[in-house]
Chains A and B, each alone.
Chain A
Amino acid sequence: MKLEDKIFKWFDDRFKLKELLTPIIKHPAPEYAVTNPLYCLGGIAFLCFLILVGTGVFLAMYYKPTPLEAYKSVENIMIAVPMGSLIRSLHHWAANTMIAAVMLHMMRIYFMGAYKKPRELNWVVGVTLLLITTTFGFSGYLLPWDQLSFWATKIGTGIAGSIPIIGEYISLILMGGTDIGAETMTRFFAIHVMILPITIAILLLMHFAMVRIQGISGRL
């Protein structure tokens, strides 16, 4: 018996791995989903999400979310930290690619009519995921604290603030006051690295579980 077989058997004896893995491994994927590249878009978005988690954890180690330190710490990442520039740029590119992939994935689902019974709720979860992905982008845009991030956030919170009835509260909750400052930064940071990642992880699990239970919708 080879070493890897022995290791597998050790775990299999204790956790019944074979029983657990076989239905996943043998689960049939429809032939058109394997051959048609349009079915890759959701997977591409998920890959971008994984890259964003990895690079994001790295950035959080060097980033300081205060108006005085934020810009300097990002500058430090770009200039002094080994591979810092590459990691931050990768975070930037993966974020934009993820949003594009999510949008294209939604267009495929729409034009193929894949949201129909029994998949209505998975569409709703999907639209929520799009909303969360763009909120990720919006909250991350402020963090470098440069001219563009400050003024774009000013306009963005202004736009959200002029929604009738709820707008006032949205902008108060987002900014933590009447103007963009230290309170806004820590809020955006908490939203970007804690609230949104937990929410998106739960919704992604639901999204994938529903695909697994209901199967991939077919035929264009």
Chain B
Amino acid sequence: MSLIEIEKHEVEEERHEPVRIRGLPFFPHFLLREVVVMCLIAGSLILMASLYPAGLLQPADPFNTPTPIYPEWYFLYVFGFLKFWTWNIGPIEAKVIGVTLPMVLWYGLLFLVPFIDRNPSSDIRKRKFAVAMGVIALLGILYFTYFSIVHH
């Protein structure tokens, strides 16, 4: 019995062997590339900070609404979708849908991506559906960002 078990084990080990990939040691190869990129980014950030300093407008005045008010650029799509969606569905108000869809549903879907996409292949040609969904989501975000700027 034990002999058979040992044999099985050896066969399994052999099968796992070719999965290994060629690699370069973390130090210095990987780290060197990382440090070069980090220096470039840090330099660019200092350059941008000196050329375009962070702004400071008038002090906050709760009784005087300025126009236009823009949220941070990464929230514009939520803002845009809220303006885009003007249809009530049954008893649910349009405003509630306009807020819930881009925040709750969108992030919920993002969290669940690995559990929805059960396709084991990581070859881009064999994941047409996932790639198409990704491109649609991306275009949607871009469109609603654009929408929020135009329809201000």
Contact with A along B64-84 (1 / 0, CB 8 A): 111001111111001100100
Of B60, B65, B130, B134, which contacts A145 at CB under 8 A?
B60
The interface residues of chain B lying within 8 Å CB-to-CB of A117 are: 114, 120
The B contact surface, by secondary structure, is helix
Min CB–CB distance A5 → chain B (angstroms): 18
Q: Does B138 contact A (CB under 8 A)?
A: yes
A88 and B54 in contact, given A113-B124, A117-B120, A138-B72 (Cβ under 8 angstroms):
yes
Return the CB mask of B28-39 against A: 1 if under 8 Å, else 0: 011001100110
A220 sits at the interface (CB 8 A): yes
Do the beta carbons of A163 and B107 come within 8 Å of each other? no
| Complex Cα gap A156–B119 (Å) | 37
Q: Contact between A24 and B26 (Cβ–Cβ < 8 Å)?
A: yes
B65 touches A146 (CB 8 A): no
Q: Is the CB of A116 within 8 A of B122?
A: yes
The 8 Å CB contact of A152, one of B26, B71, B115, B127, is B71
B48 — which chain A residues lie within 8 A by C-beta?
89, 93
Query: Given A156-B71, A162-B96, A115 and B62 touching (CB < 8 A)?
Result: no
Residue in A closest to B138 when the chains form the complex, CB atoms: A107
- Given A111-B124, A147-B66, A159-B82, verify A134-B75 contact (CB < 8 Å): yes
Q: Which of B92-135 contact A (CB under 8 A)?
A: 95-96, 99-100, 103-104, 107, 110-111, 113-115, 117, 119-124, 127, 130-131, 134
Given A86-B49, A112-B122, decide whether A31 and B99 contact each other with a Cβ distance below 8 A.
no
How far is A141 from B53 in the complex, measured between Cα atoms in Å?
Answer: 15
Known contacts A113-B127, A219-B122, A163 near B103 by CB under 8 Å: yes
Known A25-B26, A147-B66, A217-B122: A86·B50 in contact at CB below 8 Å: yes
How many A-B residue pairs have C-beta atoms within 8 angstroms? Tell me: 201
Contact with B along A18-30 (1 / 0, CB 8 A): 0000001111111
For A91, A138, A159, the residue with the greatest tally of chain B CB atoms inside 10 Å of its CB is: A159
- Report the bound CA distance from A123 to B130 in whole Å: 15
Which residues on the A side are within 8 Å of B114 (C-beta)? 115-117, 119-120, 123-124
Residues of chain A having any CB pair with chain B under 8 Å: 24-31, 33-34, 37, 40, 43-44, 47-48, 51, 67, 71, 74-75, 78, 85-86, 88-94, 96-97, 99, 103, 107, 110-117, 119-120, 123-124, 127, 130-131, 134, 137-138, 141, 144-152, 155-156, 159-160, 162-164, 167, 179-180, 217-220
26 intermolecular pairs with C-beta atoms under 8 Å apart: A31-B21, A37-B37, A40-B33, A71-B59, A75-B56, A78-B56, A89-B48, A110-B134, A113-B122, A113-B123, A115-B113, A115-B114, A119-B114, A137-B74, A144-B56, A145-B60, A146-B57, A147-B61, A148-B69, A148-B70, A152-B69, A155-B69, A162-B96, A164-B96, A164-B100, A218-B21
